[in-house]
A and B are shown apart, each in its own frame.
Chain A
Amino acid sequence: MSSININTGILEQVDGSCIFQINSTKIISSVTGPIESSRIKNEIPTRAYLDINIIPEKGVSSTRESLLETKLNKILKPMINLNLYPRQSIQIVIQVLKSGEFRDYSITELSTIVNCVYISLLNSGISLKSSFLSSCCVILQNNEIKLNPTIDDLKSCKSNHIAVFNLKNAKTDELIYCDSLGSFSDDQFFKVLNYCATDIEHNNEFIRKSIANTIEKDYIWKFQ
């Protein structure tokens, strides 16, 4: 069982924020927007520009973080109603607090970032097309599929996988993004997608409750 810890609305100077921890990976993210684009080249006439910045746990950003930003952009672009905010920017800043994996891997980090940014976007009130969540897993040497791998699992695994699904009526509906690296068969790949979909549905129950609790505590909704 994976332990999830969510804390929303922790930053006051941004529109939405969240700290998301799953096992040994911890991420804080903030969403600001829609705001005026800081550069003219980012003013897209038909839709909003996504300005994503990932800051690593240690050191400065490298090509690894650039690739993560591109992957996150691919995931978020079809999920946010960008055409509602033409010529504006949505700024998303992600700070990795605990990586929980070696730098040669990025699945647990990316998976946690996706979940963290999803809650931050909800917190900011930016229009989304649908809910979406991510899950990651590895195939161990004995061909067993393990969800939410630890650092030791990653070290000894045959392959590592990440999948992002959107949700409809609390059920996974469509594959938004997947990335698999290592050595695996076709059947194992489809099996992994099913495992991730089930895990996302399971995690969604907890996340929904957590978001509902946050809204209940919000003073705006209290009429006493």
Chain B
Amino acid sequence: MSETTQTTKLHSIRFSPDVLAKISPELSLQRHLSIGLRSNLRKFEEFKNVSLKETGTGRYDDDNNNNSCILGSSIVKSGSTTIICSISASLIEDELKSINDYSFKLDHDIISNDLQETINEDDDNSFESVYVTVKTHSGNGSKIPTLNEQNISQQLYDTIKHSKLIPSKSLKVNLGYLSNDEPTTTSTTTTTGGKKKFKFILRGDIEVWSCVGPIFDLCYASLIKSLKCVKLPLVYINEGLNDINTTSTTTSTAKRDLLSDSKIHYDLKLNTGKIGWCVTYGIVDIDSSVVNNTSDDDAMDVDDCKKSVLLADLEGESEDSIEKRMTVVRTKDGNLSQISICTDGGFKITKEIITRGLELSKRRCSDMINKY
């Protein structure tokens, strides 16, 4: 029996950096960070430039836009990412307010005449939020919101709600009458004193183009910028319809026709101290074992980087793979509005890293808050 031996030579395969970032994003990230670089050539804690502008396409921004339902909008650009946010509003009957109304309770025998009950109609402690829909245009053609889009929408709702930015009384509708008596038609703002209470519900539509990383920060910025320029319409009851209602026996208030004025408007009042700026960091553990093939010169850098580092404004496929993240929303008054930290089971998240992240957020907030 003769033995035949075959030797197979394995050749190492070389990939270009962009291909390696797709195949093994973690390895690509470690290779970059070990030599003190990021794939986008920014420093570890260097933020991307962000520009915020009003689009000027709102209902009250231009006389020709009277039929538009957009009450405030903004365009945010950062690198190749563009975000357009538009705010619209709906009117709903505030049932809770109506039920709490003293005259309503009196009519329905919920309270007696003798009861001297004072009902605080303007509950200063309640705050509202915006119902946001986020749409990322990624070229897949799907119209169904992805899980990431749903999560960002819900996170934006929660952040705005708990930051106490929009007081409930700002969205309360003061109903007025339309006066057609004079030749020059004007609307008056006398309150109706009716039992029905109405309020605005704000809806935000955020469209994201050319997304290259986490977009929560930019979506938050675009939403705040849009909210700052929201102009709410004056709402009034159609005079003719109101007369019919008073003379008719069927006093169905659902038939009331509420009209919003095409010219008269007022600004949405926000808690300006609660306006904030959001930053998201990736927390990366520099792992020296994956960079054994570095040259002797680079070994110095590796020794220096044997710790967790913060990466500001994550960008690209390799950085998008970082699961250990920290999101901070700091408000104008210096307080925090949101902190979210999650780990990936690697190195510990130390107090020093969190403190560093909070310090950076303070500086970033003071730089950016005036851009709104």
Contacts and interface: CB of A to CB of B under 8 A. Distances in A.
17 contacts: A67-B150, A74-B323, A77-B323, A77-B345, A79-B345, A175-B341, A175-B349, A178-B341, A179-B338, A179-B341, A180-B339, A181-B158, A182-B163, A182-B164, A183-B163, A183-B335, A186-B336
Contacts of A180: 336, 338-340
B341 A177 contact: yes
Given A78-B345, A174-B348, A176-B343, A181 B338 contact: yes
Contacts of B335: 183-185
Majority secondary structure of chain B interface residues (helix, strand, loop or mixed)? mixed
Interface centre among A74, A129, A159, A186 (most CB of B within 10 A): A186
Interface residues of B, number: 35
B153 interface: yes
A104 B345 contact: no
B344 interface: yes
Interface of A: 63-64, 66-67, 70, 74-75, 77-79, 104, 106, 129, 156, 159-160, 173-186, 189-190
B269 to A, nearest CB: 18
A179 B345 contact: no
Majority secondary structure of chain A interface residues (helix, strand, loop or mixed)? mixed
A73 B344 CA distance: 11
Given A74-B342, A182-B337, A63 B150 contact: yes
A184 B161 CA distance: 15
A70 B162 contact: no
A114 to B, nearest CB: 13
A66 B343 contact: no
B31 interface: no
B11 interface: no
Interface string B161-191: 1111000000000000000000000000000
Contact of A66 (B150, B323, B340): B150
B337 A177 contact: no
Contacts of A176: 342-343
Nearest to A68: B154
Given A78-B345, A159-B162, A181 B147 contact: no
Contact of B125 (A75, A156, A173, A179): A156
A175 B343 contact: yes
The 9 A-B residue pairs with the shortest CB-CB distance in the complex, in nearest-first order: A78-B345, A181-B162, A63-B154, A67-B154, A74-B342, A180-B339, A63-B150, A174-B348, A179-B340
Given A63-B151, A190-B351, A181 B337 contact: yes
Nearest to A129: B345
